[in-house]
Structure formats: structure tokens, C-alpha cells
Amino acid sequence: MINIQQFRKTIFIETYGCAMNEYDTELVKSILVKENYTFVQNELEADIVMLNTCAIREHAHRKIYGRVHEIRNNRKKLLKVNKYDKSKQSDEPLIGILGCMATNLRTELLENKNLDIDFIAGPDSYKRLPQLIEEAMGTGDKQFDLTLSEFETYSDVLPIRKEGVNAWIATSRGCNNFCTFCVVPYTRGRERSRSVSNIIEEVKLLAGEGFKQVTLLGQNVNSYNDGQADFADLLDAVSGVNGIRRIRFTSPHPKDFPDKLLDVVAQNPKVCKQIHLPLQAGNNRILDVMNRNYTQEEFLALVDKVRHKIPDAALSTDIIVGFPTETDAEFEDTFKVMKQAEFDQAFIFKYSERKGTVASKKYPDDVSEEKKTERTMTLNNLQKEVMFKKNCAHIGQRLELLIEDATNPETANYKPGRTDTNKLVILPIGDYRTGDFITAEITDATPHALKGVQTNILSS
């Protein structure tokens, strides 16, 4: 058997869900590397496997349960293959569950004997991971810490990031909105913001490391307030850091877009002209039941204001179809709002219950799966038409792009770039590298991407 004392600090971590989870994984790596843990790329080489989970997506818990069983089975197969080679034999790994699912499904995770989870940690407990791992390894007992903090922002932890052009920065943690379909206030706690000065220190370090773009994160990012500065002030402060060329932010709430913030987006050349406006539903009764705190009319008025102040802005949105008690007529309101707003991108999801939410307690999930599928297809077809029309309007234009790394093996002969408005542009391989800013002429379009050719390199 491998000497566990010698190899006890190798970790494989897998991340699910939102950008905040990606950022949290970067925090976890920083915390554990300082305690002499080593992260590996292959789960079969790890003594500890951690899954940083999300409780938002549909059937997320089933996916994680299946992944845990897969990890166990993969290790058993390895043991069987290496049963005659003692130098290659390996113990079963410790398995830990992190993130929102850890908080939301604590009892199921700890008591499910088939899963046999060794430790779990919620989003505010990552500084205790070294201790949880040591105790789980030393005693064999299950360990957990799911404390929800009113103060933890990890402002004293510098994340270990992947190389690239974009860096995530959490400006705040938690959420005070309590939308009835959402578990975040219960899994990540109440909202609290980092100071502007602390965020700027991190941005300066990122610029020094060569990052050209930062994306400011928060569960409700535009409600940021450190007691002295609001989100508009923060955007202006970040734009003052030399080396940072683009600033994005996600995910905002439509109720928190004062004129001051829209003016900064419109007037500051470093702040990208792309705004995410999560509609969720277009019917006023459903919006009220969701506790979204705006009406259809108020949302469309905000869209009009954005279009007036920032004519070239690209708008994206989130939609939930089949929310409990949603009728065909109420769904039609969502269709009409989407048609009027003409979003550049839309993320459309079927409603599914989340344990612990107000919706799961108060409202029956009474819209059939067939009806949810039908409504999803209807909105996707509409959105596809809108995106194709909007993308075709760019043909013949010259746009500034930030070159990114290719992530799809099928496009190995091409290079992706992003416009200020977050449009994906596919380019043939040229004399440019990841991180370059170039201009490109748009030659063709699909609903999901633009195609272009380089006209010149602007800068690195």
C-alpha cells in the first residue's frame, strides 16, 4: 500500500455551477497550498477528492451523488488493475463535498451510507478545511462545518487562479433578496461587501500578473456597498488600475440599477457595454410570487433606459419557465417581454424545486414536465431568431476583440475572441496570441457566434 503519511496531501478538486463557485475553488486552493497540500489533475492520483457543488441547477444533487459513486468505482478499478504491483496500489481517497449543496443537503450527505462522504464544508467554512481534513483522516469520523458567517469575505485570501485573460473577483458574498425559488440566502448567508481598498489591492496584483480583464462577482453584485462606496464608485475605482482593459460584472438584480450606475457603464470606456438583466418571468403575479420586487412594466422601463443611455449595449437575461401555478396566459407574458426586450442572450431553465426554499414549501410544482419542455422550446426558438438577427447586423463591421484561449477541441484550427459586448467571434489562426487586443471584420454570423478575419493587432 502507498504510505498515506507520505502522500496524504494530494488533492483533486472538481467545480460545478456558477462563477462564484469557480472563484471559491481558487480560494480553497490558496488556503490548502499554504498548508502544504498539492493539487493534481488526475483524481486517481489524489488522496483527497473534493467536489465544489452548486444547488441551483436542476437535479444537481443527483449528478453529485452519481459522481461520488463514479470516483469510488474508479479507485476500485485501479486497485484491481494494480493488485499485483504493490508500488502502484492506492488507498481509497477521502471524499469531501464543498459549496451550496453541502449546506443545503447536510443530513443526506452525512447519513447516506452509500455515499460515505468523509467531510463537508459550506461556503463560509473554507478556512477550516485543513482541520476538517486532518480530523477526518486521523479519526475516520465524518467532519463538517456549515457555519453561515455575517462577516467572512475571504478578503485576506489571495486566490490561486488559472492563467488566462479574465480573473474573477468576489466583491461581496451572500444575498438579502430571498427570491422564493433560490437557496442562496440559506446556503451563503446574508450579504456583506469587501472594502473598495481591499478589492483594488487585488486588482493591482492581477494587472501585475498580466490579466487584462476582471469580472466583479456577487450574488447581487450591483447592491455592493462597503459603507462608503456603492457599486458605481467601485467600478470607477477599478477602472483606475493600470493594465486592466476591460471590466465586467455579474450577476446583478434589475432593482439595483440607479442612473448613477448606468452612467458609469455608459461613460467609462473600461466598463464593458454588456449588462445582465435577469427577468425570470414576465407576468406580474408570477414575479410577485417569486418575490422579485419589480413589475413587467418596471423591467421594460429599465430596458428602455439602458437602450437610451447605452445604445450599443448588449443585454442578457435569465428565465424560469413553469414556475408553480404559472398558466399559459402568464407564460405568454414572458414571451411578449422577451420579444419586446430583444435580449442578445438568454439562459432559459425549467423550474425545479430546491429544498429549503419558500417556493418548495408554499407552492406545488404543478406545471407538467411536458408543459415546461414546450415553453422552454418556444422561448429558445424566439431567442434563436432574435440572436441571429442581432448577430447578422454586425456583418461588415470592424470590432475590437480580446483573444481568448480555445476551449473546444473541435475548433483547434480557430481562435476565439470576445467583443466588449461579450459576443463570441471565431477567427482563423493568425499572428496573435491569447490576451492580444485586435480588430476584426465580421464576415458571417450564426445565432450563437460571429465569424471574422483579423484586420490588425491593437496591442498585447
For residue 365, the model assigns a pLDDT of: 95
Count other C-beta atoms under 10 Å from residue 81's C-beta: 11
C-alpha cell at 288: 410577485
> Please, where in the chain does CATH 3.30.750.200 lie?
276-392
Q: Are 341 and 386 in contact (CB under 8 A)?
A: no
Rounded to an integer, what distance in angstroms lies between the CA atom of residue 256 and that of residue 259? Answer: 10
Query: What angle do helix axes 129-139 and 19-33 make, rounded to 10 degrees?
Result: 70
Angle at the Cα of 405 from the Cα atoms of 403 and 408, rounded to 5 degrees: 125
Rounded to an integer, what distance in angstroms lies between the CA atom of residue 75 and that of residue 442? Answer: 49
For residue 89, the model assigns a pLDDT of: 41
> Please, where in the chain does CATH 3.30.750.210 lie?
161-272
Rounded to an integer, what distance in angstroms lies between the CA atom of residue 394 and that of residue 92? Answer: 54
Rounded to an integer, what distance in angstroms lies between the CA atom of residue 132 and that of residue 110? Answer: 14
Rounded to an integer, what distance in angstroms lies between the CA atom of residue 234 and that of residue 271? Answer: 11
Rounded to an integer, what distance in angstroms lies between the CA atom of residue 314 and that of residue 120? Answer: 40
Q: Are 378 and 393 in contact (CB under 8 A)?
A: no
Give bridge partners of residue 249 from the DSSP assignment. Answer: 216
Topology of the domain covering 161-272: Transcription Regulator spoIIAA (3.30.750)
CATH number belonging to domain 398-459: 2.40.50.140
Q: Looking at the structure, give the CATH architecture of the domain made up of residues 4-145.
A: 3-Layer(aba) Sandwich (3.40)
Rounded to an integer, what distance in angstroms lies between the CA atom of residue 328 and that of residue 357? Answer: 24
Give bridge partners of residue 314 from the DSSP assignment. Answer: 274
> Please, where in the chain does CATH 3.40.50.12160 lie?
4-145
For residue 58, the model assigns a pLDDT of: 58
For residue 3, the model assigns a pLDDT of: 41
Q: Are 38 and 7 in contact (CB under 8 A)?
A: no
Output the tens digit of pLDDT for each of the chain's 460 residues.
334 444 468 999 999 988 999 999 999 999 999 999 999 999 999 999 999 998 776 567 788 889 999 998 988 888 777 665 544 445 789 999 999 988 888 778 878 878 889 999 999 999 999 999 999 988 989 999 999 999 999 999 999 998 889 999 999 999 999 999 999 999 999 999 999 999 999 999 999 999 999 999 999 999 999 999 999 999 999 999 999 999 999 999 999 999 999 999 999 999 999 999 999 999 999 999 999 999 999 999 999 999 999 999 999 999 999 999 999 999 999 999 999 999 999 999 999 988 889 999 999 999 999 999 999 999 999 999 999 999 999 999 999 999 998 766 555 678 999 999 999 999 998 888 999 999 999 999 999 999 999 998 777 6
CATH number belonging to domain 276-392: 3.30.750.200
For residue 457, the model assigns a pLDDT of: 75
Rounded to an integer, what distance in angstroms lies between the CA atom of residue 202 and that of residue 153? Answer: 13
C-alpha cell at 238: 477599478
What's the pTM? 0.93
Q: Are 100 and 123 in contact (CB under 8 A)?
A: yes
